[in-house]
Amino acid sequence: MIHIGSLIEKKLREQGRTVTWFAAALHCDRTNVYKIFQKSSIDSSMLYRISCILGYDFFRNIPSLSIRV
């Protein structure tokens, strides 16, 4: 199981970006960024925004779901 918040934090750190920078880019407080890091799941529209800000496609880390018809 992928913990998306940890993955977001890891990518942010790899890029040498700060939480303050990320919060400004997301138009939120730093406390909200730390809450994102704790989330095991995240809304797809928020994940899209984060992907654009960090220049990384987080959706490729989500395993495809099998649907039985």
Structure tokens at 32: 């909200």
pLDDT number for residue 66: 40
Give residues with Cβ within 8 angstroms of 32, minimum separation 6. Answer: 23, 26
pLDDT number for residue 42: 92
Structure tokens at 45: 């529209």
- The CA R_g of the chain, rounded to the nearest whole Å, is 13
Query: By the 8 A CB rule, do 12 and 56 touch?
Result: no
pLDDT number for residue 64: 61
pLDDT number for residue 20: 98
Give residues with Cβ within 8 angstroms of 17, minimum separation 6. Answer: 54
Residue-wise pLDDT tens for the chain (69 aa)? Answer: 789 999 999 999 999 999 999 999 999 999 999 999 999 999 999 999 999 999 999 888 776 644 444
pLDDT number for residue 38: 97
